[in-house]
Structure 1
């Protein structure tokens, strides 16, 4: 039986999820946060950065911002996991306050890490977030978790941008017009290349098709509006979805929680 709990900080980019999934299958998506998780029980399988991965009990998951991935149970018994989403700006704030601060945000080379120390730190932080621990304790555990993740598993600096030229122009075009009904021809013309070249280059650079990227931008906008208390039907209309059920279907597929439950978590 599938279940999930969700928590969201009201004042900064920090969220946490505790879930068990047997039948739920995540559609390919990404987050605009660092997403760190620990598998508590079972096996979860997913594809990320061109490879297939499995996280077993005790293993840590580390997604960089905008890392496309999917996910599902590796067997009929399902899996239980804890996930923490931390905005890049919050990670930078934590690192800046630490001795020997880094010159750039971290990157994680492997999406699955077998490290008991990291797993313990993540479990402690997650329990504090969902358990209503005092703010000071939450901040201490956040600093400990981010610090240990960076020290034990991260590359220190961000490399150069993954894409330039026509693909980057297409991405900027979608960023500015994600609510519009942008056609393939219009996007290719704005980028300055053929439709096929754009599709192939966009998938290579960003791990998903332009249409998937556009829907992701709409989902992120919906999350912001829902966090601000917007009615689900109104949010759907304002973010380019056909109706409330259309938004709900994609919200659950990409985030594992309904819009209503996400909103009530604040």
Structure 2
């Protein structure tokens, strides 16, 4: 087994042979764990977790027993276990199965739900251990890399909230309360979004959290997220990344290399910077830098 640290947790890799492998991550501060694994021969003995466990099957199929009945999760399906739900598990197909599973402590789920509904909801319970829900599957696939990678705090919190809300509102028997999520009036929504934007603009290079923005905006994290998207058409984390990309473009124009620009603009590494530069601008940082150099310095006003 090998272990390596990430920006916000520790990840270990276990290669058991026979095609089986697993990579595991644990948050050092909160009850959050995640695993990405492929199992062909491994058989899980009946066990349970003291957390909610959400898993999305990527390939193959896993069969398991839970609450006295047999179930199968095929590619694209989601498994949902309540805290202390006993279950086992093994491959249901010859090539094995690959899945991503996240264990989210009840306190974390409660924190997300309280932020959405102002404490009006009961803790969720999931009757179906397997659900076929593409929206939820996508939310979990987006959450997993945000947890195990060195993602910005804003990205992690937004994706965690999205996954928990999708799980509860779409699949829980008892969820976040009948009144629905809290919304701000239009005028208050605009003011909250602008306050958050102002903080992001002056602190673009700082590791701001969702709570930092909510405090500046004077509302809950969830209300701020909704308000910001309504006002600016993107999540706060997307706007933060855009500010960093703009800073990197200025550095590239001034002749700095891509690696230097990535670090100075606040990106975790050059690969992360390169990927987002291409996604947003359609060209690589190197192509942009060469074009800027060929054009020469901007003319004086």
Question: What TM-score bracket applies, with the shorter chain setting the length?
Answer: 0.5 to 0.7
Q: What is the CA-CA distance between 1:58 and the residue it aligns to?
A: 0.2
Q: Does 1:87 align with 2:105?
A: yes
What is the 5 A alignment of 1:109-148? Answer: 109-148=127-166
SS at match of 1:31: coil
Cα distance in 2, alignment partners of residues 89 and 52 from structure 1: 29
Q: After superposition, what is the alpha-carbon deviation per residue over 1:146-195, rounded to whole angstroms, capped at 9, x for unaligned? A: 0110000001169xxxxxxxxxxxxxxxxxxxxxxxxxxxxxxxxxxxxx
Cα distance in 2, alignment partners of residues 127 and 109 from structure 1: 27
| Structure 1 segments of 4+ aligned residues over 6 angstroms from their partners | none
- 1:49 match: 67
TM-score scaled by length of structure 2 = 0.51
Q: Unpaired segments of 5 or more residues in structure 2?
A: 1-18, 177-301
Q: Unpaired segments of 5 or more residues in structure 1?
A: 159-266
Which of 45, 62, 69 is residue 27 of structure 1 equivalent to? 45
- 1:17 match: 35
Structure 1 stretch displaced more, 130-139 or 71-80: 130-139
Q: After superposition, what is the alpha-carbon deviation per residue over 1:85-104, rounded to whole angstroms, capped at 9, x for unaligned? A: 00001100110000364431
Count of equivalent residues: 158
What is the 5 A alignment of 1:169-188? Answer: none
Q: Does 1:96 align with 2:114?
A: yes
Cα distance in 2, alignment partners of residues 101 and 145 from structure 1: 18
- 1:234 match: none
Task: Please tell me whether Structure 1 or Structure 2 has the larger radius of gyration of its CA atoms.
Answer: 2
Contact 2:67/2:86, CA 8 A, preserved across alignment: yes
Q: After superposition, what is the alpha-carbon deviation per residue over 1:28-85, rounded to whole angstroms, capped at 9, x for unaligned? A: 0000000000000000000001100000000000000000000000122100000000
